[in-house]
Amino acid sequence: MTDKIPLLIDTDPGVDDALALLMAFNDTRHEVVGLTIAAGNVGLQHTVANALKLCEVVGAQVPVFAGCVAPLLHPARDAAYVHGRDGFGDVGYTPATRSVEAEHAALAILRLSHAHAGRLLLVALGPLTNLALALKLDPSLPSRVARLVVMGGAVSAHGNISAAAEFNVAFDPEAAHLVFEAFPAFDLADWEATIAHGLHHPSVVEWLAADSERARFYEAISRKTREWSADRRGDHWHSADGLAMAYALHPDGAAETAERPVAVELAGRLARGATIVDWNRQEGRPDNARILLRYDQGRFETLVREALARR
Ligand code: RIB
Ligand code: CA
């Protein structure tokens, strides 16, 4: 057993997921032991193909496990309008030659939690369907996970897919509810933290000019969403999963956090999928989330820049 921290990433690649994966593969203190793939940004067939391609670009022989093809209960809209129909900017890349594993993502999560019991860092960058299914199969899962980091939610109801809800949680609110109820403590990097830690477009363009295959690949797959973002969100680009991965890999880069009870609204005509934070602890529920409020922006940008420049 190496002394590296075993890292399992549940993800729906997705352009910002890809940046988070590049950051993880560039980290020397963690060993990526698997990628479990969710439907979300785009359909499962694309998110699986994108994960396999990203692994090929970085030369990583990490097992990729396909997960659930749809949310637990209600169908949901994808985010192809942000990431491209294929989730990777519709650049028509040559598919990876490696195949996905036969084992379902939920079963892989459970097996890897036993293999790395007590040491596993689990990072969830997409809808939480696979993790929720794993919990239904084995409710003891949290006892074997050293740390769970979730990209999701909008802690003051500044949503990105509806007025109050963030995409990952809103795509499968029942799954998020099951996860938030099952894990007594998890780290949360939400949409509002993402917006507060934007990346200046000109800096990103400079980083993408690095002489590396990773930078060239990422420049291509991210072009469409960067253009979309510049049109709609101004001079900064936002990488929700990149920030969550920075928090996961280097928690000491968090400048400010808040521990509070967080729950998911499952009903509601206006607020289904909203993450409700009991800021004043009115309800007497335990603090289950350590919410990232501020991260060291320079540290974040260095992690992004170095991940892209890696040859
Ligand atoms: O709301 C942002 C999240 O939704 C990110 O994880 C992005 O990849 C999408 O999955
Ligand atoms: Ca994602």
Which ligand has the minimum distance to the alpha carbon of residue 42?
1
What is the atom index within ligand 1 of the atom nearest the CA of 166? Answer: 1
- CA torsion sign for 220, 49, 78, 131 is negative
Q: How confident is the model at residue 268, as a pLDDT? A: 84
Q: Is 234 exposed, middle or buried (0-12, 13-18, 19+ CB in 10 A)?
A: exposed
User: Best of 78, 155, 160, 168 to mutate for ligand 1, by most ligand atoms within 8 A of CB?
Assistant: 168
Atom of ligand 1 nearest to the CA of 194: 2
Pick the ligand that lies closest to the CA of residue 191: 1
pLDDT for 265 equals 98
Distance 183 CA to ligand 1 centre (A): 21
For 261, the domain range is 5-309
- Name all residues whose Cβ lies below 6 A of ligand 1: 12, 14, 16-17, 40-41, 79, 125-126, 151, 160, 166-168, 191, 240-241
How close is the Cα of 101 to the center of ligand 2, in Å?
Answer: 21
* Cα-to-centroid distance, 161 and ligand 1 (Å): 10
Q: Which two tokens stand for residue 80?
A: 């192809």
**For the CA of 127, the nearest atom of ligand 1:** 10
Q: Ligand 1, closest atom to CA 12?
A: 10
What is the predicted pLDDT for the residue at 230?
Answer: 87
Span from the CA of 16 to the centroid of ligand 2 (angstroms): 6
Q: Supply the pLDDT for residue 1.
A: 56
What is the domain-level CATH number for residue 129?
Answer: 3.90.245.10
Domain count of the fold of the chain:
1
Residues annotated as catalytic (active site), given as ranges: 238
Name the closest ligand to CA 225. Answer: 1
pLDDT mean values, one per 10 residues, the chain (311 residues): 91 98 98 98 98 98 98 94 94 97 98 98 99 98 98 98 97 98 98 98 97 98 93 91 98 98 95 98 98 98 98 96
